[in-house]
Structure 1
Amino acid sequence: MTRSATTSIDLNADLGEGFGHWRLTDDEHLLSVVTSANVACGFHAGDPAIMRRVCDLAAERGVRIGAQVSYRDLAGFGRRSMDVPPAELAAEVAYQIGALEVFARAAGSRVAYVKPHGALYNRVVHDEEQAAAVVAGVLLAGEGRAVLGLPGSRLLAAAEEAGLPVVTEAFADRAYTARATLVPRGTAGAVVSDPDAVVARAVSMALDGTVVAASGEPVPVGAGSLCVHGDTPGAVELARRVRAALEAAGVRVAAFS
């Protein structure tokens, strides 16, 4: 079903993905485009100095701050699936949120939502136990923060059951399966690299709530937030093009309520 052209959508990116002198994401310029920032909390990337700097910039520019929580996997950038006991995973999620909250508060803002990263994000689409552990960690951190995730995922179901706000997410630069899940990154074509295709997909997702799967059929991906990955080559210019195209199509780009 086509949405009204007066619809609104959030634009998010993964930020703070660096460590020490190493930098992957262009945080300063992306924060002039996006409305929500998924900030790495030190487990897949990020360190205290980076977290503080990104929170300061986000607060200064009115960008909503979110904790991008991960398995403890710096070497693998959080993209290796791990079997972490639920109680341990809940504690690690709460730990990451709490660490980022210190810097968000110091900047005059707060951590408004939580989004898993990489292997954890994909795992909690189907794994009820791991999804419940992530939600337990969000609850342990307090304040009833929103949870950002894939539509139909076990994560969002568990968050709703726990009374937490949920926000559905779509990816303009990732390929989808016919089941409306993400094509695994190890598969050829998992990342959409053609900028024109990314822009067109973003508009279709916002206006129609659909995207063409890798297998060729349209699949529903209705979402309140649209992600453009910060580690994609040319991410800043791509994000600018996506935002401009959305606004030209009559879509209001604003942080989710």
Structure 2
Amino acid sequence: MTVIDLNVDIAEGFGAWRIADDDALLAVVSSANIACGFHAGDPGTIRRACVTAVAHGVSIGAQVGYRDLAGFGRRFIDMPPAELVDDLLYQMAALRGMAEVAGGRLAYVKPHGALYNAIATHEEQAAAVVEAVTTFDASLAVLGMPGSRWLALAEAAGLETVAEAFADRAYTPEGRLVSRREPGAVLHDPDVVARRAVRFATDGTVVAVDGSVLAMPARSVCVHSDTPGALELVRAVRDGMTAAGVTVESFR
């Protein structure tokens, strides 16, 4: 039986601004990457996400990122490693507290946005993220891009690593995500997104923008909650998985 996790970014609103229907999304997915307040999320939004995740039996992950509310964490920050470690410890500790108050527990860590992309190749920052997780709680799993320096260093440090693929994003021939500044970087068609997700789960491959077929071994598939129509996309992915005989279940 093929089993794969379906994760989505959650609690990315702030104050009166709501970016997605978190409650509805949490009724569909198996893992929730919950913002920790640095790129998005306020205490009320974060706590509600934890409560709802617990109610649905959804695994809770800390989506840590740069301290960049204005840029939604999508701008690279060339910060000293020690400062990055401290920022990540702060975020993980905050989310663990919210998760425990809600009756749940923190299960994994997934970097967000520019940090996620940077540590695919940035040795210094990748090492800092590994240091932060191992210092905080080495029993936590970590999500990342297949072939990234981040996952390689995390595995070497003894962390449980989970490779993930993005159903709603286009890939370059090198296996990286197409920049959001480029046309076609974000996919919006539910049928297309669902077919890609099923292919990740059953075949472990993806078709890049140049038509080449790339190996993309993944234990988790992600859909971004800020992609227009995210709820429809997530439901299409879940339905497509079920129709293909794939079981959607958290790795934790």
Q: CA deviation at 1:111?
A: 0.9
Q: For residue 107 of structure 1, what is the aligned residue in structure 2?
A: 102
Q: For residue 246 of structure 2, what is the aligned residue in structure 1?
A: 251
Task: Map residues 1-257 of structure 1 onto 2, 5 A cutoff.
Answer: 6-257=1-252
- Which whole-Å CA distance do the structure 2 matches of 1:122 and 1:150 have between them? 8
- Which whole-Å CA distance do the structure 1 matches of 2:71 and 2:109 have between them? 21
CA-to-partner distance for each residue in 1:19-43, whole Å, 9 max, x for gaps?
A: 1111102110000000000000001
- Which whole-Å CA distance do the structure 2 matches of 1:60 and 1:138 have between them? 26
Q: CA deviation at 1:143?
A: 4.7
Asked whether the equivalents of residues 62 and 108 of structure 2 are also in contact (C-alpha less than 8 Å), the reply is yes
- Which whole-Å CA distance do the structure 2 matches of 1:94 and 1:135 have between them? 11
Q: CA deviation at 1:140?
A: 2.2
Percent identity over the alignment is 60
CA-to-partner distance for each residue in 1:84-137, whole Å, 9 max, x for gaps?
A: 110000111111000000010111111100001100000000011100101111
Unaligned runs of 5+ in 1: 1-5
Q: For residue 3 of structure 1, what is the aligned residue in structure 2?
A: none
- Which whole-Å CA distance do the structure 1 matches of 2:105 and 2:151 have between them? 21
Asked whether the equivalents of residues 138 and 159 of structure 2 are also in contact (C-alpha less than 8 Å), the reply is no
Q: State the AA in 1 paired with 2:45.
A: I
Aligned length: 252
Asked whether the equivalents of residues 188 and 229 of structure 2 are also in contact (C-alpha less than 8 Å), the reply is no
Secondary structure of the 1:170 match is strand
- Which whole-Å CA distance do the structure 2 matches of 1:143 and 1:224 have between them? 20
Q: State the AA in 2 paired with 1:207.
A: T
RMSD: 0.9
Q: Which segment drifts farther, 194-203 or 25-34?
A: 194-203
Secondary structure of the 2:100 match is helix
Q: State the AA in 2 paired with 1:186.
A: R
Q: State the AA in 2 paired with 1:13.
A: V
Q: State the AA in 2 paired with 1:73.
A: D
Q: State the AA in 2 paired with 1:198.
A: V
- Which whole-Å CA distance do the structure 1 matches of 2:199 and 2:115 have between them? 27
- Which whole-Å CA distance do the structure 2 matches of 1:160 and 1:193 have between them? 33
Q: Which segment drifts farther, 241-250 or 191-200?
A: 191-200
- Which whole-Å CA distance do the structure 2 matches of 1:73 and 1:208 have between them? 37
- Which whole-Å CA distance do the structure 1 matches of 2:110 and 2:138 have between them? 15
- Which whole-Å CA distance do the structure 2 matches of 1:55 and 1:104 have between them? 5
- Which whole-Å CA distance do the structure 2 matches of 1:176 and 1:215 have between them? 9
Q: CA deviation at 1:238?
A: 1.3
Q: CA deviation at 1:81?
A: 0.6
Asked whether the equivalents of residues 188 and 233 of structure 2 are also in contact (C-alpha less than 8 Å), the reply is no
CA-to-partner distance for each residue in 1:205-254, whole Å, 9 max, x for gaps?
A: 11100110011111111100000111111111211111011011010100
Secondary structure of the 2:131 match is helix
TM-score (norm 1): 0.96
Asked whether the equivalents of residues 4 and 219 of structure 2 are also in contact (C-alpha less than 8 Å), the reply is yes
Secondary structure of the 2:240 match is helix
- Which whole-Å CA distance do the structure 2 matches of 1:17 and 1:150 have between them? 21
